[in-house]
């Protein structure tokens, strides 16, 4: 299946870009993202139009890229500004594709389709990632599977009991009240877990001693594969009654048809969650995503062996409603784009 092109994809974290250029293949296209030297960001094709060398192998300065093979210099708009050879001809074809790019909420967003349409749609807004009361934990992993399998995983969180002991205690999947909802082209999957035993995750956040919580984890998807997860817990123990939120983004960007860049963020309210817990919280979640989700999703990709998901006739269950809706919304959007 082709990719959705006229859409914003997460290309990296702003803090990553602050540390240096980002070179990443996105939708099968090599891209290099740089500081443009004017307070902005440029995302350019990471392939010299002369002889197809990767520009990210060369010297990258603020606002310019120098091809490592023949020394062409490109500015942050992708125009060749210096040809060191002979009379220095700079034919029009010496132009890098310049992808629209935005920085918002600590995320670097890239637009992979028709640049003239980029202004018609804003990147997803996740303002809790930049709210002053919040601190944000971030992580990246590469998943060796198609990005829609990762979306599936995030629109049905009932797998947590079976994969993630840190997140969901044994025997609690049964109690999840699942509900999917589609509003226009957005799909939400609500997971309500009333009066359940506390989890290791929330024990970390709430401190020891809490017995019972109302838990919830509501996944909000928009095409192509950007998800916000409202996760949180309300303490039920007598005399407590705290409400703690750990809102998350899970931003999935196809590297290729069979590999996915997975950027995740979890916000914590700095007034509630003690900063000394950040490392443990990060480790617990990174472990869940990298060492519990990823191997399973990769195994599913291998079992599918290149076949189409629906053509394989999956035995769909109520808790698959969200992911099935998301797959259909995306397939329709891609089909419309191919017309």
Q: Give the binding site for its own copies (CB under 8 A).
A: 28, 30, 47, 49-54, 57-58, 67-71, 83-89, 91, 93-95, 152, 156, 158-159, 161-163, 173-174, 176, 178, 296, 299-300, 303-305, 312-320
Shortest distance, position 104 Cβ to its own copies, whole Å: 30
Interatomic CA distance for residues 326 and 89, integer angstroms: 49
User: Closer CB to its own copies, residue 58 or residue 123?
Assistant: 58
User: Closer CB to its own copies, residue 3 or residue 109?
Assistant: 3
Shortest distance, position 132 Cβ to its own copies, whole Å: 39
CA-based nearest residue to 157, from 181, 171, 177: 177
Question: Quick one: three-class SS letters along 20-66?
Answer: CCEEEEECCEEEEEEECCCCCEEEEECCCCCCCCCHHHCCEECCEEE
User: Closer CB to its own copies, residue 95 or residue 104?
Assistant: 95
Overall size of the chain counted in residues: 339
Interatomic CA distance for residues 324 and 328, integer angstroms: 6
Shortest distance, position 62 Cβ to its own copies, whole Å: 20
User: Closer CB to its own copies, residue 27 or residue 107?
Assistant: 27
Shortest distance, position 316 Cβ to its own copies, whole Å: 8
User: Closer CB to its own copies, residue 85 or residue 332?
Assistant: 85
Q: Which residues neighbour 333 within 8 Å (Cβ) at sequence distance 6 or greater?
A: 4, 7, 185, 223, 224
Q: What share of the chain is helix, strand, coil (3-state, %, to 5)?
A: 30, 35, 35
Interatomic CA distance for residues 262 and 311, integer angstroms: 26
Which tokens in the block code for residue 98? 């310049």
Shortest distance, position 153 Cβ to its own copies, whole Å: 9
Tracing tokens 């891209």 back to the chain, one arrives at 31
Q: Which residues neighbour 203 within 8 Å (Cβ) at sequence distance 6 or greater?
A: 210
Shortest distance, position 45 Cβ to its own copies, whole Å: 10
Shortest distance, position 272 Cβ to its own copies, whole Å: 31
- The DSSP line for 98-129 is EE-EEEETTEEEEE-S-GGGGGGSPPPP-GGG
User: Closer CB to its own copies, residue 134 or residue 153?
Assistant: 153
CA-based nearest residue to 225, from 1, 19, 23, 38: 1
User: Closer CB to its own copies, residue 277 or residue 300?
Assistant: 300
Shortest distance, position 263 Cβ to its own copies, whole Å: 23
User: Closer CB to its own copies, residue 2 or residue 91?
Assistant: 91
Shortest distance, position 2 Cβ to its own copies, whole Å: 16
Contact 227, 250 (CB under 8 A): yes
Which tokens in the block code for residue 136? 């944000």
User: Closer CB to its own copies, residue 54 or residue 284?
Assistant: 54
Question: Quick one: three-class SS letters along 138-200?
Answer: EEEEEECCCHHHHHHHHHCHHHHHHHCCCCCCCCCHHHCEEEEEEECCEEEEEEEEEEEECCH
């Amino acid at each position: 299946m082709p990719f959705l092109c006229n859409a914003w994809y997460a290309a990296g974290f702003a803090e990553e870009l602050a540390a240096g250029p980002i070179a990443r293949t996105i939708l099968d296209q090599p891209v290099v993202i740089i500081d443009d030297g004017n307070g902005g960001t440029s995302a350019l094709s990471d392939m010299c139009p002369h002889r197809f060398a990767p520009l990210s192998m060369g010297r990258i300065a603020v606002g310019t890229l120098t091809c490592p093979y023949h020394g062409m210099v490109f500015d942050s708009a992708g125009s060749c500004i210096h040809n060191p050879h002979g009379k220095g001809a700079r034919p029009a074809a010496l132009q890098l594709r310049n992808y629209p790019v935005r920085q918002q909420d600590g995320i670097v967003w890239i637009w992979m389709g028709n640049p003239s349409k980029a202004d018609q749609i804003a990147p997803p807004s996740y303002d809790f990632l930049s709210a002053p009361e919040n601190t944000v934990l971030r992580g990246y992993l590469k998943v060796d599977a198609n990005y829609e399998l990762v979306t599936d995983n995030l629109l049905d969180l009932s797998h947590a009991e079976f994969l993630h002991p840190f997140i969901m205690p044994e025997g609690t999947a049964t109690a999840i009240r699942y509900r999917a909802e589609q509003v226009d082209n957005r799909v939400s999957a609500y997971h309500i877990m009333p009066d359940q035993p506390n989890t290791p995750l929330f024990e970390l956040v709430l401190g020891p001693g809490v017995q019972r919580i109302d838990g919830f984890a509501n996944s909000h998807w928009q095409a192509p594969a950007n998800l916000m997860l409202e996760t949180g817990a309300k303490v039920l123990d007598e005399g407590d009654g705290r409400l703690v939120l750990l809102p998350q983004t899970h931003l999935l960007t196809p590297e290729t048809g069979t590999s996915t860049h997975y950027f995740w963020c979890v916000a914590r309210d700095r007034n509630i969650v003690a900063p000394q817990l950040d490392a443990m919280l990060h480790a617990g979640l990174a472990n869940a995503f990298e060492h519990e989700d990823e191997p399973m999703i990769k195994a599913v990709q291998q079992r599918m062996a290149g076949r189409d998901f629906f053509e394989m006739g999956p035995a769909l269950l109520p808790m698959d409603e969200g992911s099935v809706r998301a797959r259909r919304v995306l397939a329709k959007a891609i089909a419309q784009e191919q017309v």
